[in-house]
Structure 1
Amino acid sequence: MGAENSKSQPPILSQPWREINWHRDKQTDLQFVKNYKPQVKGQQLRILLHGPVGAGKSSFINSVQSVLQGRMYIQALADNISHDSFTKKYTTYKIQKESPNTFYPFVFNNIMGLGPNKGVLVDDVKLALKGHIKDGYLFNPVSQISEDHAFYKTFPELNDKVHVLVLVICADTLPLLTDKFVKELLEIRKAASDLGIPQVALLTKIDQACPEVKEDLKNVYKYEYIKKQMEKLSAEVGIPMNCIFPVKNYHEEIHVDNDTDALLLSSLRSIITCGDDYINFTKQQTSSDRYA
């Protein structure tokens, strides 16, 4: 599919439509992530990944860990065969820093993928946004979690709630999105927006969607095909272009790569920044209400 699409693409642009300094920006973004500390003491920034089955949510978590560890790292189990969601439980992933028993102040929550048959229910995603689902909950694709369930948290604390919602979706499957699926994405996006939660999108598998990008990842912002896929996603679900990031997850490599790292870190920095802005804004609103 990618090869067929790329044949109709214009010659490579002399200048990329989005600027990125592959070496300098990688180092700057890496330092930002390593130095990040929430302004609110004891705060843990919670990042919820959602999207269709097989989009690369687990692979993104592993890829981020690989970048920060400087080596291939696999914690979130991924599957390359099943057509159903490989992720069944609501799982929180912490990322360890260089020192033993120390972790970055942000966590990823992986959730069962959206799917036509055995995917996560939209209502469960909404409850996860509010912090009502406990870690380890086994999703039921035919029935949402009930309030009397052992894994339902009636009174979520601030750290239980989601601070940034990340849609993970494949570049080569965008043309195949059904109306039903888009409707579910819009419903989830509205629920997050009503809560004030910022949203970011990751366009994965760009190397599979565009052969020229597979040949050289630095071509990602020089070919119109990737840009058009991002524009399509933006038009379908309403996420602004500057909140959509093309990334390549690690899936066949045995060593980390500078260009892959650069794209991953660029997206991660924006995700953290969005979540941190939300935390700070929420704190300001709470303080204003207290002294009103």
Structure 2
Amino acid sequence: MATSKQKLFKNPFASLRSKKKEPIEPVEPWRVYKELTGEHGWQKEYYKTLLTRIKNNTTSVLKKEDVGSETINIMMLGYVQSGKSSTINSIFCILDNRISKRAKSGDSEDSFTQTYDSFRGEKQLDDIILYDVMGVEAVKHQGILTEDIKMCMKGDVEESYQFDPRSQKRIDGKVFGKEIHCVMYCVDAESIFQEIIEPVKKKMQEIESELKLNPQDRIVLVTKIDTICDETKKDIRRIFHSKKVQNAVEMAARVFKVSLNQVHPIKNYTDEVEIDEYKNIPLLLGLSKAVDFGTDYLRNMADKAKRKSQQKEQQTEI
């Protein structure tokens, strides 16, 4: 009891007798966005600029007749509690300008997502559909299977498809037309320093090996950065100055074997009760890159189809 009382009634003035800390020298950002630097950087309204850019990008590509899609389809993929469903919710928080919850999320050890769910954006993001799938799990016969992911990528899975890791039954040859154009992996900042627990890491790398065979590209979102950096937790604007966040991004790039510019650190809305415009910015920077990759994929496929058509015409003329 004596020990407990000593802790409970700790002298509040003790810190005043401690040695004064030296001021921290400003640290150069490890990632530079021109509009977030300088005297006018990190303006609260900047997230609206990002929303407008995403809208303009999607509209300019989707309006082309040879693209063959009315939306940009992005699949969220990650292990249990990596923050993929929370990311979907956070994007809608930005659109609604309040805390909202569209996708099921929580702290369960098993995946909250059991079915293939889609969430179409609104307002500036109305041309984007986010697809949530069952989480990757370490235990055999639990969590999404690689075969399910491949079917989702091709558009062979209908809305509300029930994932069942124990079942061998699979949909074959039935295309529903919602091909995935980009994948957003989610990994939380704390786990990435442990390189994720080994069985999950092995599964994720198996999935990544399969996805590399597909023409669609992918980005990695490092979530929960506030759990590894107190400085960033206090002020999200320090995100690109934090060495700890930089280390997490570099580790994620190594684990998923992608370029550093394909890894984006974010802070989802999980315990907040109000919107913070500054937190919107990293989220939209990550989404913006996924949209870029999605539109690039559609343009590449359209060009490929055009060349194929031209070759066929030339052969017919001969």
State the TM-score, normalized to the length of structure 2.
0.80
1:89 corresponds to which residue?
115
CA contact (8 A) 2:111 2:143 kept: yes
SS at match of 2:219: strand
1:12–1:162 CA distance, 2 compared to 1 (3 A): farther
CA RMSD, aligned part only? 1.9
DSSP 3-state at the match of 1:71: coil
Q: Secondary structure at the match of 2:204?
A: helix
Instruction: Specify the code of the residue in structure 2 equivalent to 1:106.
Output: I
Are residue 111 (structure 1) and residue 133 (structure 2) matched?
yes
Q: 1:153 to 1:72 in 2, by over 3 A?
A: farther
> 1 or 2 for the larger relative contact order (CA 8 Å, sep ≥6)?
1
**For the residues of structure 1 that align with 2:127 and 2:169, how far apart are their CA atoms?**
28
Alignment of 1:201 onto 2:220? yes
Structure 2 equivalent of residue 32 of structure 1: 53
Q: Secondary structure at the match of 1:160?
A: coil
When structure 1 is superposed on structure 2, of 278-287 and 189-198 the one drifting more is 189-198
Q: Which amino acid aligns with 1:163?
A: H
Q: Pick the aligned partner of 2:29 from 10, 16, 22.
A: 16
5 Å-filtered alignment, 1:1-292, equals: 13-20=26-33, 21=36, 22-23=42-43, 25-35=46-56, 36-37=58-59, 38=62, 39=64, 40=67, 42-80=69-107, 82-97=108-123, 104-117=126-139, 118-146=142-170, 152=171, 154-156=173-175, 159-176=177-194, 177-292=196-311
Q: 1:92 to 1:144 in 2, by over 3 A?
A: farther
SS at structure 1 position matched to 2:270: coil
| Equivalent residues, number | 271
* C-alpha distance in 2 between matches for 1:243 and 1:144: 34
Q: Alpha-carbon deviation of 1:75?
A: 1.0
Q: 1:12 to 1:126 in 2, by over 3 A?
A: farther
Residue 85 of structure 1 aligns with an amino acid whose one-letter code is: S
Deviations 1:147-206 (A, max 9, x none): xxxxx362425x411100110010011133234323322222232221211110000000
Q: Which runs of 5+ in 1 are unaligned?
A: 1-10, 147-151
SS for the counterpart of 1:199 is strand
Using the alignment, how far apart are the partners of 2:226 and 2:258 within structure 1? 22
Deviation at 1:12, TM superposition (A): 6.5
Output one character per residue of 1:13-46: Cα deviation in whole Å (capped at 9) or x when no partner: 5221112412264232121123331233652211
Give the conservation status (yes or no) of the 8 Å contact 1:52–1:168: yes
TM-score (norm 1): 0.86
Amino acid at match of 1:222: H
Q: Which runs of 5+ in 2 are unaligned?
A: 1-23, 37-41, 312-318
